[in-house]
Chain A
């Protein structure tokens, strides 16, 4: 019961952070920031982070991390660009192949982490470089070998970047991802396994959970989410460049941290990450609308992550102490 309260409180804190940021920018930016169109824009910005964040959240819940998300997005986009440029295959085939590449990349991560026992942040740091290099190797070049961006303007693909009614398609996809992600985590056996692996690997293994397999699937899902994120990014840009998603890996992790997904594993959910994604998008948008140097964004992002993580740690220590004291008191009363 107490545990329940604690997570609810944490949810309020992340919502509070988001609210404070919105109010701050509304005061500083006025109507320029605070209008309906801009909020739709913010949600659109948050959507790709939210989609990719579903996979990253699962990885973090298993006490892991995925640093390769931006590179996988680029690899997927560039695979599709190659198919687009050199074949006449229909768009759905191109998209499916792109998704398969993303899943394969994710499974690579999962294999390296689960079966080769490479620590998550080192393994995905290495694959971040590997996938980015692969992207550059298959990048579209002109006759002189200079890397170019490949325009992908055919309606069947570019329409993925459009809006349906008030919301962009990417936002609708994000909502679907968040709902499905939340259901998978909370109401399926696989979801329970994910939490169990993150809370205590040894205990999970001893109670019969296939830890390696769970990790493999989690990173595969993360690869799938990255693929979808990459597809929507390319559709929005109506082109694919090798630099897509450069530095992107920061945002889903930051979103998860702000949303209360514990890096020690075993707790958190994708709804929290969604709030975090909205927070990051609001920050980016506000800095832009206030005409500040984009460099401030990097500083603020980093500082916020450190502060939130420090707060989480101090808060957890405090709650543990309270629980211990209560236990001692009850023991004394008995």
Chain B
């Protein structure tokens, strides 16, 4: 037990080192561009959106599932809030109704995912792969393939301002951390992700737990969409494009196992911070976003391959232990 604790603190330390190296490298390579107030707030924007979304999708990752519909659901919720606000005359009431509507869409999407995955035993990637297409189509239909914009009222544009979005991320991450590490629900989520059959046998309602996890993921994706819409003061079907990869990469960098059962919210937020810096760094090095996928893809493969290797090692060790005892 004590050994486990020790390795944990070491790995925590190494994360801080990686972060420091990253920031140092960027400040040396692009001192004039990186260390400006405008750029730092750019980084924080990007971090906050990814952080908000990964705080919820981590529940899906912990189950060993995945959500490929993040980016189009994000786009759909962004479109919904902008459309509602503009249709209600840019009033404060409109913003509140819009937020509720977007959250409702997110929760419904999560409910649908969870329902189909648990009741019909369909793999998560396929369901979310299919709904990704549905959400994209819906936002294209709603916006009629156009960009819809919304610059009023102040309440709406405020949500996406740097500091509000950062505070929002901190609150959501803190709540998610509490839920995951201090409640029965969180414990059950780890149990289901570690071994669904064992969890079922020990009396956990796996289906209910799974559905709840997907609803949470849908909700945070919706909040991400709301913040994005407010930041850019516009929305279209492709709002949020690229975020599926970013969120998954953030989780993976942060030590969340896509095989399920392992990972913490702190880790995921760390991943989001690193992702934000990575995005910004690539941007400052004038790497076009179309080419950034190369780096992110390699990061995902290396991290997951490493994770899978460790899994295999652990099970081999277990077998050895059993053999020794015998």
Q: Are A133 and B294 in contact (CB under 8 A)?
A: yes
| A125 partner residues in chain B, CB cutoff 8 A | 68, 245, 248, 300
| A130 partner residues in chain B, CB cutoff 8 A | 293-294, 297-298
- Out of B68, B138, B294, name the residue touching A299 (CB < 8 Å): B138
Q: Are B258 and A119 in contact (CB under 8 A)?
A: yes
Q: What are the interface flags for A114-141 relative to B under an 8 Å C-beta threshold, 1 for contact and 0 otherwise?
A: 0011110111011111101110110000
- Out of B116, B123, B248, B290, name the residue touching A310 (CB < 8 Å): B116
Closest chain A residue to B138, Cβ basis: A299
| A310 partner residues in chain B, CB cutoff 8 A | 116, 120, 122
| B116 partner residues in chain A, CB cutoff 8 A | 306, 309-310
Q: What are the interface flags for B293-323 relative to A under an 8 Å C-beta threshold, 1 for contact and 0 otherwise?
A: 1101110110011001100100000000000
Q: Are A112 and B297 in contact (CB under 8 A)?
A: no
Q: What are the interface flags for A211-225 relative to B under an 8 Å C-beta threshold, 1 for contact and 0 otherwise?
A: 000000000000000
| A129 partner residues in chain B, CB cutoff 8 A | 245, 293-294, 296-297
| B131 partner residues in chain A, CB cutoff 8 A | 302, 306
Known A293-B140, A302-B132, A302-B134; judge A117-B308 contact (CB<8 A): yes
Is the C-beta of A167 less than 8 angstroms from some C-beta in chain B? no
Which residues of chain B in 42-78 are interfacial with respect to chain A, using CB atoms and an 8 Å cutoff?
66, 68
Q: Are A301 and B133 in contact (CB under 8 A)?
A: yes
Which residues of chain B in 111-150 are interfacial with respect to chain A, using CB atoms and an 8 Å cutoff?
116, 120-123, 125-127, 129-138, 140-141, 144-145
Considering the chains assembled together, what is the distance between the CA atoms of A198 and B140 in angstroms?
Answer: 37
Which residues of chain B in 132-191 are interfacial with respect to chain A, using CB atoms and an 8 Å cutoff?
132-138, 140-141, 144-145
Q: Are A132 and B133 in contact (CB under 8 A)?
A: no
Q: Are B308 and A118 in contact (CB under 8 A)?
A: yes
Considering the chains assembled together, what is the distance between the CA atoms of A303 and B127 in angstroms?
Answer: 10
Known A117-B309, A122-B300; judge A242-B290 contact (CB<8 A): yes
| B245 partner residues in chain A, CB cutoff 8 A | 125, 129
Q: What are the interface flags for A282-304 relative to B under an 8 Å C-beta threshold, 1 for contact and 0 otherwise?
A: 00000000000111111111110
- Out of A119, A132, A293, name the residue touching B259 (CB < 8 Å): A119
Q: Are B290 and A136 in contact (CB under 8 A)?
A: yes
Is the C-beta of A49 less than 8 angstroms from some C-beta in chain B? no
Is the C-beta of B292 less than 8 angstroms from some C-beta in chain A? yes
Known A136-B291, A302-B131, A302-B132; judge A127-B145 contact (CB<8 A): no
Q: Are A123 and B304 in contact (CB under 8 A)?
A: yes
Distance in Å from the Cβ of B261 to the closest Cβ of chain A? 14
Q: Are A299 and B309 in contact (CB under 8 A)?
A: no
Interface footprint category on B = 35 or more
Of A126, A257, A299, the most chain B CB neighbours within 10 A belong to A126
Closest chain A residue to B295, Cβ basis: A133
Q: Are B122 and A263 in contact (CB under 8 A)?
A: yes
Distance in Å from the Cβ of A317 to the closest Cβ of chain B? 8
| B300 partner residues in chain A, CB cutoff 8 A | 122, 125-126
Distance in Å from the Cβ of B177 to the closest Cβ of chain A? 25
Considering the chains assembled together, what is the distance between the CA atoms of A172 and B293 in angstroms?
Answer: 35
Is the C-beta of A274 less than 8 angstroms from some C-beta in chain B? no
Considering the chains assembled together, what is the distance between the CA atoms of A309 and B293 in angstroms?
Answer: 30
Known A122-B258, A295-B140, A313-B122; judge A137-B66 contact (CB<8 A): no
Q: What are the interface flags for B264-303 relative to A under an 8 Å C-beta threshold, 1 for contact and 0 otherwise?
A: 0000000000000000000000001011111011101100
Distance in Å from the Cβ of A319 to the closest Cβ of chain B? 14
| A301 partner residues in chain B, CB cutoff 8 A | 130, 133, 137
Considering the chains assembled together, what is the distance between the CA atoms of A126 and B292 in angstroms?
Answer: 12
Known A118-B301, A118-B304; judge A253-B137 contact (CB<8 A): no
Considering the chains assembled together, what is the distance between the CA atoms of A87 and B152 in angstroms?
Answer: 56
Q: Are A296 and B141 in contact (CB under 8 A)?
A: yes
Is the C-beta of A231 less than 8 angstroms from some C-beta in chain B? no
- Out of A118, A134, A302, name the residue touching B130 (CB < 8 Å): A302
Closest chain B residue to A300, Cβ basis: B137
Q: Are A298 and B290 in contact (CB under 8 A)?
A: no
Q: Are A133 and B292 in contact (CB under 8 A)?
A: yes
B residues with a Cβ closer than 8 A to A are 66, 68, 116, 120-123, 125-127, 129-138, 140-141, 144-145, 237, 245, 248, 258-259, 288, 290-294, 296-298, 300-301, 304-305, 308-309, 312
What are 15 A-B interface contacts by the 8 Å CB criterion?
Answer: A65-B125, A122-B304, A125-B300, A129-B296, A129-B297, A130-B294, A130-B298, A263-B123, A263-B126, A294-B140, A295-B136, A295-B137, A298-B136, A299-B137, A299-B141
A residues with a Cβ closer than 8 A to B are 65, 67, 112, 116-119, 121-123, 125-130, 132-134, 136-137, 242, 250, 253-254, 257, 263-264, 293-303, 305-306, 309-310, 313-314
Q: Which 7 A-B pairs have the closest CB atoms?
A: A298-B137, A129-B293, A295-B140, A302-B134, A299-B137, A133-B294, A130-B297
Knowing that A116-B308, A130-B297, A302-B135 are A-B contacts, what are 15 other residue pairs whose CB atoms are under 8 Å apart, sorted by A's residue number? A65-B125, A116-B301, A117-B309, A121-B123, A127-B297, A130-B298, A134-B294, A250-B129, A263-B123, A293-B145, A295-B137, A295-B237, A301-B130, A305-B133, A309-B127
